[in-house]
């Protein structure tokens, strides 16, 4: 064949392969000659151009555990000091939380006992009111009215749920705003949503205190709240919105839920179903808040596969639960300080 007027012999396939291998050897030797000698101080050498790698997608992460249990214990120590100071100013009087348990639900009884114990740990008092399964709405309303008018009571907790024959919403809304330390009234929710003074619903408010303590950035982030209950999902969304997050609320009728959750910088599981939110719905580097707790000792989110690829998460148990009780006690203390201080 002729190239640029010069006739060359046609090479066989074997010769082409031999020449290619020789070329590869020369390239390798050339690269070796440019390597630094043994003992060279790499720190003093000019760095090669950076290769951008998304380590959140290619390597295991060390996620921040949003430890609500430890934080609640820390807050209790601080509250104890405030209670002692209040007693000194108020001739020994202390904030009092009144708890109302209607019926004999074992789980509810346990929760009420835990709240009473938390009061005791910080030096406050609690009054436990127990009503029978056959209690009517009118009877419960009368008891709430009695507590509203008792100046020694600074917070009222109606344990959810109540027996089916009771109008729970009417009873929640009968609690005076000044004593609504569990944040369950419509008036309190409305004021909170409008940025006005009100006690926040205990679980979402506890979550916000937890995120604030760990300095989780909310402003400008996309938060997806899965659940729309009146005492968790809806107030959670409003609190995140007030913190300048962009909020999406999802629920049982939401279409293509996994795709929406995948967009979230912050995911809040508040749906009330064990591990309903799957790990592969959640993107790497997200903040995961699980507000659920079920007899299976799990929450609403499939957490186990997430712990080495999200930036932060609440454990179950030991995450949101302790902060819920702590926030109830904290808001009762605030109410007591207003009344006694």
Peptide bond connecting 94 to the previous residue in cis, omega within 30 degrees of 0 = no
Q: How many Cβ atoms sit within 10 Å of the Cβ of residue 4?
A: 5
Pairing of strands 2-3, 6-7: antiparallel
End-to-end CA distance of the chain: 104
Q: 287 pairs with which residues across the strands?
A: 266, 312
> What is the Cα–Cα distance from 236 to 270, expressed in whole angstroms?
9
**How far apart (Å, rounded) are the C-alpha atoms in residues 114 and 109?**
9
CA dihedral sign of residues 238, 240, 242, 246: negative
Catalytic annotation, residues: 115, 159, 182
Give the C-alpha distances (Å, rounded to integers) separating 276 from 97, 252, 316: 35, 11, 14
């Amino acid at each position: 064949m002729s190239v640029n007027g010069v006739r060359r012999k046609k090479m066989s396939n074997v010769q082409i392969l031999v020449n290619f291998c020789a070329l590869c050897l020369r390239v390798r030797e050339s690269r070796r000659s440019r390597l630094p000698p043994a003992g060279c101080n790499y720190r003093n050498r000019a760095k090669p151009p950076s290769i951008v790698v998304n380590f959140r997608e290619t390597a295991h992460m060390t996620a921040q555990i949003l430890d609500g249990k430890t934080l609640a214990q820390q807050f209790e120590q601080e509250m104890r000091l405030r209670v002692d100071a209040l007693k000194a100013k108020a001739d020994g009087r202390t904030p009092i939380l009144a708890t109302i348990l209607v019926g004999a639900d074992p789980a509810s009884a346990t929760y009420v006992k835990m709240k009473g114990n938390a009061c005791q740990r910080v030096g406050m008092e609690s009054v436990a009111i127990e009503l029978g399964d056959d209690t009517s709405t009118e009877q419960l309303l009368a008891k709430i009215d009695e507590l509203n008018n008792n100046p020694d009571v600074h917070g009222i907790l109606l344990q959810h749920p109540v027996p089916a024959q009771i109008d729970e919403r009417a009873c929640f809304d009968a609690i005076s705003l000044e004593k609504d330390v569990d944040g369950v009234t419509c008036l309190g929710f409305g004021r909170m949503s409008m940025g006005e003074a009100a006690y926040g619903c205990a679980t979402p408010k506890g979550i916000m205190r937890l995120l604030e303590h760990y300095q989780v950035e909310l402003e400008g982030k996309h938060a997806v709240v899965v659940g729309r209950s009146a005492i968790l999902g809806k107030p959670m969304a409003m609190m995140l919105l007030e913190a300048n997050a962009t909020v999406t609320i999802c629920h049982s009728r939401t279409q293509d839920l996994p795709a929406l959750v995948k967009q979230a910088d912050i995911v809040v599981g508040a749906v009330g179903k064990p591990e309903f939110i799957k790990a592969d719905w959640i993107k790497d580097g997200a903040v995961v808040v699980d507000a659920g707790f079920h007899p299976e000792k799990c929450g609403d989110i499939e957490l186990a596969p997430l712990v080495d690829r999200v930036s932060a998460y609440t454990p179950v148990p030991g995450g949101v639960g302790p902060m819920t009780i702590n926030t109830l006690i904290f808001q009762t203390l605030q109410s007591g300080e207003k009344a006694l201080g």
